[in-house]
Amino acid sequence: MPHEETEVVVVGAGQAGVAMSEHLGAHGIPHLVLERHRIAERWRTERWDSLVANGPAWHDRFPGLEFTDIDPALTPDAFVPKERVADYLVAYAEKTGAPIRSGVEVTSVRRRAGRPGFRVETSQGTIDARFVVAATGPFQRPVIPPLVPDGAVPTQIHSSGYRNPEQLPGGAVLVVGAGSSGVQIADELRRSGRRVLLSVGPHDRPPRAYRGRDFCWWLGVLGTWDAQTPPQGAEHVTIAVSGAHGGHTVDFRDLAASGIELVGMTTSYADGVLRFAPDLAANIAFGDAKYLEFLRAADAYVERDGLDLPEEPEAHVLGPDPECVTRPRPELDLNEAGVTSIVWATGFATDYGWLDVDAFDENGRPDQRRGVSAEPGVYFLGLPWLSRRGSSFLWGVWHDARYVADHIARQRGYLAYAPTDRKN
């Protein structure tokens, strides 16, 4: 098998890997970006057909390239389809001359014994590198809770495997998880004529837009994007926001009014019956509280700075809770309800089985600060809250990559230091 050497190996050619390559290139640091599939493969084949970016095109991009086929003067808050996001990352890689090798799977990374750097084993040979950047992002291994046994319903799939309503057998669908993916998939299935039940857990529910500005703008001016740690108890709370249909605020009352039945968190299964926690009203109230808190913070900002933004008092008015919330269903007989599919919108786990280094804490999570790991020479990029709230977003990962590249450049300087002989 071929063997070669380089300074930095970047594993993954999604948004994190493409951004990392740009900044390494700006420093003149030799590197390779290894991708087992194509550039931005997850945007193409691990998302549903109708997905669009959850942030507007003016915001969710790298600084060096705009979405050229969207006129910001006509549609400043347009939401880009997933294929266009993937094409954008390919174009950006071409623009920056990123040395990406597609179709190369990294099978292991180990520190070299008695020598600096790491041995990177791949499907096409070995590479020795002084530094390694794990840029595989947060969406590595779909998580399906082991609740419903195989065969209990004809189809169980994770949201990453869902494509469109026609993919599922006829019958009702239970969608488990009420973050951005869950609510959008549930709404699409309902629009296709299906009976849909949506299992709702704790969530944050920001307005899509308020007083004429998208919530991404508000997060910027309020300084929330730069928050360095999640609020107490909110480390794993999902965000219910959508760019679908031109972008709209997710309101679970509206979803219920459209015909989607809301239920609490899915907790257990026995003898064909699913049981739900009695937490639906509390989860809806939690999301409402976060929503109203956001509006109050925005109003205070407008008043403080004297901005001329249109008032929106109706946004503060919440309708009555629907019956499915005030009298929630405690359980569901899947056969009696005609449920033939369960879509698990229950998130992802990381998978660093290939990274055999001492860069993880006692729980197996990356032990890092701003992407710099506890293992000298190993870096992480693209993870939620890597340095701030925006770290896993397209624009946020670009800024994190610059910090990591600067750190690598400094380390190279130390390693290159060769003192000259001095006579005292």
Residues 6+ apart with CB under 8 A from 416: none
pLDDT score of 139: 86
Q: Among 9, 266, 41, 247, which Cα is nearest to 135's?
A: 9
Angstrom CA distances, 118 to 18, 125, 131, 267, stand at 21, 14, 7, 44
Angstrom CA distances, 308 to 204, 299, 314, stand at 28, 11, 18
Q: Give per-residue burial for 142-154: e unless 16+ CB within 10 Å, then b.
A: bebeebbeeebbe
401, with CB counted inside 10 A (0-12, 13-18, 19+), is buried
C-beta separation of 203 from 287 below 8 A = yes
- For each of the chain's 424 residues, which pLDDT tens digit applies? 799 999 999 999 999 999 999 999 999 999 999 999 999 999 999 899 999 998 999 999 999 998 877 655 556 678 999 999 999 999 999 999 999 999 999 999 999 999 999 999 999 999 999 999 999 988 889 999 999 999 999 999 999 999 999 999 999 999 999 999 999 999 999 999 999 999 999 999 999 999 999 999 999 999 999 888 766 555 556 888 889 888 889 999 999 999 999 999 999 999 999 999 999 999 999 999 999 999 999 999 999 999 999 999 999 999 999 999 999 999 999 999 999 999 999 999 989 999 999 999 998 999 999 999 999 999 999 999 899 988 988 989 999 999 999 999 999 999 988 887 655 5
pLDDT score of 423: 57
pLDDT score of 248: 87
Q: Which residue has the tokens 């760019």?
A: 243
pLDDT score of 420: 74
pLDDT score of 315: 97
Q: Which residue has the tokens 């890597």?
A: 386
Estimate to the nearest angstrom the gap between the alpha carbon of 264 and the chain centroid. 24
